[in-house]
Structures are given as C-alpha cells and as structure tokens.
Amino acid sequence: MKNPYIENIKYFTSTKDALHYVGGIPEVTSHTLKSLKAQGLQPYHTLLDVGAGCFRMHTVIDYLNQGHYFAIEGNSSLVNQGLDYLKEKGVDKVPIYTVNQDFEIGLLEEPYFDFVLISGVVCHMTDDEIEHMFSKLFQFTAHHTKVIVTFIDNNTVDKNFRGTPYTHLKTFLPDEYESTLISYYHPRGLKMMMITRTINSA
C-alpha cells in the first residue's frame, strides 16, 4: 500500500488548490526557514527538498543562491502549480527538480547535499516507504549533511495523517546515523528531527 499522495495522483488547475492539498498553512515556510537557519543553513549551501509539493517552502528557495535548491516530487501537477506559486510570491530563483515517485535522487545529478528537508511527508507514509526513502536518500548524504524531518510524535492513525513517534522513527536509521530533536514551531504540532552521520562512521 502506498501513501494517498502517490496512490491517487491529483491534478490541479490553481495554486490555491495545490497549496490547500499540501496542507495549507503558508506560514510553515517561515517557521521551517527559521529552524534550518538555526542549524546553520547559509545561502551557499545546497538543499534537497524531498516531496516538495507545490514549493510551499518559497522562503527557503528565495534564501538560497540560484542553483542550490533541489527538489524531488511525485506529482507533476503540484510542481507545475508550484512554479506559478513562486512567481506569485515574487521569487525569481528557479528550482532544480525531478518528478519521481521512487526517490531517484541521482536524476538531479548532484553528488551530495548539505541539507535535506523532508517536511510533511513521513506522516503520510507507511513504515516500508519510510525505510525505502531513507535507504535511497542516504546514498546522497555526506558526513556533514543535515537531514531535517518533520513528523507527528504520537500514534495517531487517520485518513490523512499517520503518527510516527520519534522513538519509532529512529529505528529506521542505519547504525552509522544518529538523530536529535530540534526546535521548530508548527501550528498543528508537528515536530522536527535532524539526522546526521555519526562522527566515527566510514
């Protein structure tokens, strides 16, 4: 079974509908940028946005130098609306993206990323999908890469959201990775964790 975003690909004709579909709450972008900066994000860093949707993270895109924001997203219609959304927001930076549902990050032709953002994605995924995503992703992380993930820290299971407590999420990490909870505000109470390689890993 796949998550609803991939099992039932929807088509959008307006940025408003696309934004609503990825969760609304446009101010999430500023809360996210604040947390990323607190972890050291600088404009010259590269960042991969996994499940980027309709580029709700426009302030992150605008903050980074041109050519430093990369995205992978499974729904081409969301991406197309996202390009319009960036224009509406006055962002003249152009994302480097690929539309792909199997985390084929190599298509972006970037050997590794300084930061990876996975926002509002794992709460729609099954355990198998989370495991699969991490296994693909960790091929593109270097020792200094910071993987930032938002999640719901309880066992809620409903039509739209799946709680994946921190203690459970940590079990998906290979031995050479470690994680920590980091500061983040989300109006619906999502939490944020940062995954890095352990200092002694090969």
Chain contacts with ligand SAM (rule: CB under 6 A): 3, 5-6, 22-23, 51-53, 56, 72-75, 78, 101, 119-121, 124
- Sorted by sequence, the CB contacts under 8 Å of residue 112 that are 6+ apart come out as 140, 141, 142, 145
Minimal distance in Å, beta carbon 92 to ligand SAM? 20
Alpha-carbon distance 80 to 55, whole Å?
A: 10
Q: Which is nearer to ligand SAM, 46 or 137 (CB)?
A: 137
Q: Which is nearer to ligand SAM, 128 or 143 (CB)?
A: 128
Q: Which is nearer to ligand SAM, 95 or 120 (CB)?
A: 120
Minimal distance in Å, beta carbon 131 to ligand SAM? 12
Alpha-carbon distance 53 to 129, whole Å?
A: 17
At residue 180, what are phi and psi to the nearest 5 degrees? -145, 150
Minimal distance in Å, beta carbon 201 to ligand SAM? 26
Alpha-carbon distance 23 to 53, whole Å?
A: 10
Q: Terminus-to-terminus CA distance in the chain, angstroms?
A: 34
Q: Which is nearer to ligand SAM, 81 or 197 (CB)?
A: 81
Instruction: Name the DSSP class of 65.
Output: P
Minimal distance in Å, beta carbon 118 to ligand SAM? 7
